[in-house]
Structure 1
Amino acid sequence: MNIYEMLFLITMGFALKKILKEDKPFIWLKELSNNFLLTLFVFSNVASKDLAYLLRIKIVFIYVFLVIGLSLVASYLYGLKLKDEKWRGALIILSIYPNTVALGFPIASLFLKDLTPVILYASTNTLIVLPVATFIAAHYSTGGASLKESLLKALKFPPTSANLLALALVLLGIRLPDGFLTLLNKIGWWSIPALLIYFGSRINLQKFEWRKLGEVGLFRVAVPFLFVFLTLNSPREIFYAILVEASMPPAIMANAILARYRLREEEAIGVTVILTLLVLTLFLVLKALISVNF
């Protein structure tokens, strides 16, 4: 899938939402994609690998922790000078929670054929950042949620469970038939266009501030992008997997958490939409430059 097809699907989702004027069809699409299609896609990609392959890409797991930690510390320190405590919490959550699946997978597919490193980054990131983001949201709001509850919620996310199951099979040396995994992969691939249509249906620009765009863009995109670009020296498939995933705009789930805890969700949605378009442009330019030079 190329970036123009991605933009078309996002636009389609936005247009369909305007025409249908209801959320139910898109909620069903999200459930089908997340709970079934994406689960098959994640499982088939990871289960098709062996232990030697996972050991070669251990740097992926290391960079998940490094990028989350960097964005968390940087946005927190910057937020200390902000008077709006609710936006301070929202900024931290938006900064640490990238859109690794709905946007990260399609963009990574522009550079890579094997998305296993991308999937492992996304799954590990979700497992870590979901409880952290929920805990931060609870701290900056009047609500409350324990770290244990948030971690259990992350584990109940079907693609995360599928990833852990597939990793267990690989570690145990259990290899499923290639034909079976190929079939699952072909079916699961449709999660990518489905997620893009769903993302388009969520676009909302009711409130938007350029200053807040700059703040989120700095800590969610610019800082991780430069950190990975300047420090990571790995094979092409690892480099682009980490660079893309680490530099994605805020996830839909990040905005959902903000909405649940009433932490400036309307401003966050506007920032997320504009930043998504800017990130798409960034990687379109990067892809064009690579094509010219190679």
Structure 2
Amino acid sequence: MVKNDIERSEGENQDKFFLWAMVILPILSMCAYVADAFYFYHVAHETTPSLYEGLLSTILILFAYLQYCAPIKSRGLRLAYYILLYILIEVGHIGYLLSYTYKKNLFSVMIFIGWMLCDTCFTAALIYCRVYRGCERKCESKLDVHIEVENKHIFHFISRLDVILALFIPVFLNEDFSTTTRDNIAFFLLFDFFSEKYEHFSSIWIKACLYLFAAVTTVSIACEWLYFGFHTDIFHQITDVAELVGACLCNSLIIMQFFPYHFKPRHLQEMVHRLQVVVVGT
């Protein structure tokens, strides 16, 4: 990838380090997921408990969801990029799938088959929105990213991760629990990120999706802690299902934000912003 293949958003003063980070971080996230998945597979064959399972990928998995706004100008490179990320995450899913097949855990096998289908649909939709519809066509307008990630968001994510992981790290290092990569921490941060644009939402569908995403994420995190407290499998199963549903809702929200009819017209957004400035000034 050469210098001209990285693009800046219009009107944004984004430095090159940030732009390259937005390309590289999702790849690192997926690589960490693959590594943790096959480490989990290795541990599944060991008789001694492990003091580490899934922590690194849980920290980085947030950036996998930000692949939708990777600043790659070339449509060909963009396609290759999304295919690479898709291959990596599917390999990771296969690693966990093999582990639970070895453990004869049918429920978890079905969950990871669901993850594979979810990410397949998400990647196909991303390719449609950012590659096929990523430029002007005769009968169709170009689809743009409407919820953009800026420098400040990356630092915000990192600062929030520090606090949240301080609570979760003891769980990952507890040999009494067998942990996999968890997405609910990423969902908590992504909900906060998406909600910043709520005032610009127009469609009932994207609003409903955001509310459901918040509710399912809350259920997932609550049941996770109940499982750690009571060691009851039903809470762990509810967490797994809620996390998969949360991923579907998060992916749906990401895809919907490409379509402009889910947002208020730009001139109305500017009018609302000016009114807010006037109110604050008075």
Q: TM over 0.5: same fold? A: no
- Greater helix content: 1
From the CA coordinates, give the structure whose radius of gyration is larger: 2
Select the structure with the greater relative contact order (CA < 8 A; seq sep ≥ 6).
1
Provide the TM-score with structure 2 as the length reference.
0.32
